[in-house]
Amino acid sequence: MKKGFRTVCVILAACALFSSGAFAQSKTTVTIWNYWETPKHQETLARVCKDFNDSQGKIEVVTKYIPFADFKKQLSIGAAASELPDIVIIDNPDHASYSGMGIFADITDKMASWPDLKQYFDGPLNSCKLNGRLYGLPFGSNCLSLFYNEDMLKAANCQPPKTWDDLKSVALKTTKGKVHGFGISSVQNEEGTFGFLCWLWGTGNSSFKINDANGIKALSLVRDLVKSGAMPKEVINWTQGDTMNQFISGNLAMMVNGPWQVPTMREQAPNLKWNVVQLPIGKKAASDLGGENFGVVKGDKVDESLAFLKFVASPAEMKTYINDFGYIASRKDVAATQFTNDAVMKVFSAQMASAQPRGPHPRWPEISDALSLAMNESLTGIATPEAAAAKAQKTIDSIVGTK
Amino acid sequence: MNRIRLFFRYGNIGYLFVLPAMLYMLALVGYPIVSNFILSVQDVTVTTLNAPVKPFVGLRNYRMLFADGVLQTSLVNTFVFTCCCIVFQFIIGFALALFFNRDFSFAKPIRGLLMIPWMIPMTVTALMFKFMFSSNVGIINQFLQSWGMIGQPIEWLLQPQLAMFSLIVANIWIGIPFNMILISTGLTTIPPELNEAAAIDGANKRQSFFYITLPMLKPVIESVLLLGFIYTFKVFDLVFVMTNGGPVNSTHLLSTYSYKLSFTLFKYSQGAATANILFIILFAVSVMYLRFVYDDKGAA
């Protein structure tokens, strides 16, 4: 009897295996690479893919996580070895590099008939273009603003800073014992550049101009913050996630960070009293346009990929995930409906007005490296802001060409 | 056909036996080396990666690297790092091996436990040391401060020289067990009769160490040093995780700098050129080692 039962089980299992195998074969698999590290983002992305997979029977979308630090490496190795996914979710300043490399498919003509394209904001959509051709779609946008710990500022009798001078003095007043007044991720890579550019642009400069009074002023700001002890020198080893962790652990009174941290912060530190204001202003208001784009990889699955993109970009679907990501929608009609009851996220929406995209330039990584190097040199005191600026400018000019 | 048969008839069948190994070496060692060299004399960047014909630029990549300055820093760093690590790893490893070679209870289990640093994945070790050396929350500063040895926290990973020092300390810790276990094995091959005979002839501990143990261990020491050199010279993960070449490019080694050029800045050709410099140095060291081994055999 027992033996018979077992046989039945085996047969059933074999049938199940066989049928599911046959089922999977009839579907086209579309692979998406992404680098979102927080579990919340991963869960939401998985849910969106499931929505799509359930909505039709022909295409199966699967996601693959690759750490941010490895992402570009994997992508360029993949390009050289022709082992690429079908869609990548990519940091917007890199889009031009990869379009230039010839990895992404030109979808201009295929998308021309799609009426929703008009709904996109110009900034994010332009970051998907190279020489007027479209190579992807924006996923969502974000920007940087200033987070502050309400209790700490109150204890130091301070208002949230509005200017750079305010920032320096409030940061100094709130620095006490283990608590530092201010922190911003300053790693020597794209993440650090991202943080530094809002100071550089705040002086009125472009991403390509640093060796002048303005650029030196921006570099001096970071140096002064560290020199006075208000900002820990360790920010050169902090990612944006690390900075957020320091903030919710009560080691920072203020930080510059983005809206994508908000869902996690609410979850992990429900009792922390914090708020967000727009970034302190130097000469003019400036923030960094962040966010990801969908890049459609060249190959035989472009149509399937586009079917997925059109699905996730539809207003109905976008509304289900964009808030969970802590992103501001790249579509005007969806953005208008976002955050009507969320004071914190409204600040980021408002900050978007002054957010600029980085670059764009196919050799942006090299320019970005020169900028983050200059910022690190001034921050650690290894070089004066003047020397750092001159060196960075030399590198940038050799890439962009002096005008 | 006949000719081939004739060729093998005269004792040349050996060529057939080494053929698989030769093919394997050609495909997996020879090809990458050649292709890397070709890459380093071309100009391959983001814009030319997928182009059918890559522009040939001769030695321009090498010249540009030497003009830039970071390459020199990483060359010096790599040598300083390797030499410091090897000297300390070797001395401490040797001392421990001698210690555990004495027959006391628990000698073997403790020696086994000492292997743990070698078994922990490098990334884990690197993260651990990164936390320990952190200037605000690191345990090292905490201890030093509570013992009153320092007033202000030391900026271990935030100052160029100190960051290099921290990397070296971490790598020595990792490398000690490797040296210890190889030398221990070497020690067991020395017959105890030699030392006994020397003792009867009136040699003291120091003499028997310098005139028996050391000469008997010479081949082991040579291979330990060579392997140690190669392992240390091409170390990557430790530096990548602990400092990623920072602060301000001051702790880049050839390996991490090459990685950065290729995969952060997309200057594939310059990355390849840096990797070639690394390769040439390691190749020279290996050739020197082989000469040593052959000379020894010739003398014996």
CATH code: domain of residue A53:
3.40.190.10
Same domain, A181 and A128: no
Interface with chain B: mutation pick from A191, A366, A368, highest number of B CBs within 10 Å: A366
In a domain, A7, yes or no: no
Average pLDDT score over residue span A224-236: 93
Q: Which range has the worst mean pLDDT, A174-183, A327-336, B168-177? A: A327-336
Count of the separate structural domains present in chain B: 1
pLDDT at A23: 47
A255 shares a domain with A351:
no
Percent share of chain B, pLDDT over 70: 98
Contacts of A362 in chain B (CB under 8 A): 46-47
Most confidently modeled range among A20-29, A77-86, A116-125, A241-250: A241-250
- The backbone torsions φ and ψ at residue A107, rounded to the nearest 5 degrees and listed phi first, read -105, 15
Q: Give the span between the Cα atoms of B72 and B76, in whole angstroms.
A: 6
Is residue A3 in a domain? no
The tokens for B18 are 């080494």
State the average pLDDT for chain A: 88
Domain that holds residue A313: 27-142+290-356
A100: pLDDT strictly greater than 90: no
**Which of A172-176, A345-349, B48-52 is the most confident on average?**
A172-176
* Partner-chain contact A362 B46, CB within 8 Å: yes
Residues A94 and A179 in one domain: no
pLDDT reported for residue B294: 80
User: Do A281 and A331 sit in the same domain of this protein?
Assistant: no
Is A294 among the domain residues? yes
SS3 letters for B7-45? HHHCCCCHHHHHHHHHHHHHHHHHHHHHHHHHHHCECCC
Mean pLDDT, rounded, for A246-253 = 94
Total domains in chain A come to 2
pLDDT at B167: 95
Average pLDDT rounded to a whole number, residues A367-377: 94
In this structure, are A274 and A168 located in the same domain? yes
Q: Is the pLDDT of residue B34 over 50?
A: yes
User: What local confidence, expressed as pLDDT, does residue A17 receive?
Assistant: 47
Per-residue pLDDT band at A8 (split at 50, 70, 90): low
- Which pLDDT tens digit goes with each residue over B98-151? 998 887 888 888 888 888 888 899 999 999 999 999 887 789 998 998 888 888
Closest CA to A395 of B39, B49, B69: B69
Task: Please tell me whether residues A262 and A375 are part of one structural domain.
Answer: yes
Question: What would the mean pLDDT of A325-353 be, rounded to a whole number?
Answer: 86
Any domain includes A186: yes
Helix (H) or strand (E) holding A89: strand A87-91
CATH number at residue B131: 1.10.3720.10
Model pLDDT, residue A5: 55
Q: Is residue A12 part of a domain?
A: no
* Segment holding B269, helix H or strand E: helix B268-299
What does the alpha-carbon distance between residue A136 and residue A41 come to, in Å, rounded to a whole number? 21
Residue A22 pLDDT level (bands cut at 50, 70, 90): very low
CB pairs under 8 A between A and B: 86
Q: List Cα–Cα distances, A35 to A32, A68, B255, in angstroms.
A: 10, 5, 24
* Position A135 pLDDT exceeds 90: yes
Contact (CB<8Å) B263/A382: no
Kindly tell me if the per-residue pLDDT of B298 is higher than 70. Answer: no
Does residue B44 lie within any of the structural domains? no
Cis peptide before A232 (omega within 30 of 0): no
| pLDDT over 60 (residue B200) | yes
pLDDT for the residue B239 = 94
Query: Would you say residue B234 has pLDDT above 70?
Result: yes
Nearest to B158 among A79, A98, A234 (CB): A234
Please list every residue in chain B whose beta carbon sits closer than 8 Å to the beta carbon of residue A96. Answer: none
Query: Which of A232, A363, A376 comes nearest B46 by C-beta?
Result: A363
Please give the backbone phi and psi of residue A229, each rounded to the nearest 5 degrees, phi first: 90, 0
Residue A386 has pLDDT above 60, yes or no: yes
| pTM: predicted TM-score of the whole model, two decimal places | 0.81
**Residue A333: per-residue pLDDT:** 87
Going across the sheet that includes A28-34, the strands are A59-65, A28-34, A87-91, A290-296, A136-142
**A14 falls within a domain:** no
Cβ-based neighbours of A225, under 8 Å, separated by 6 or more = A167, A168, A171, A182, A231
| Cβ within 8 Å of A, B 140-169 | 155, 157-160
Same domain (yes/no): A71, A101? yes
Question: Percent of chain A beyond pLDDT 70?
Answer: 93
Give yes or no for a contact between B67 and B272, defined as CB atoms under 8 angstroms apart: no
Sequential DSSP letters for B98-147: HHHHS--TTHHHHHHHTTHHHHS-HHHHHHHHHHHT-TTT-HHHHHHHHT
Give the separation between CA B226 and CA B220, rounded to whole angstroms. Answer: 10
Decide if B107 touches A, using CB distance below 8 A. Answer: no
Residue A5 lies in a domain: no
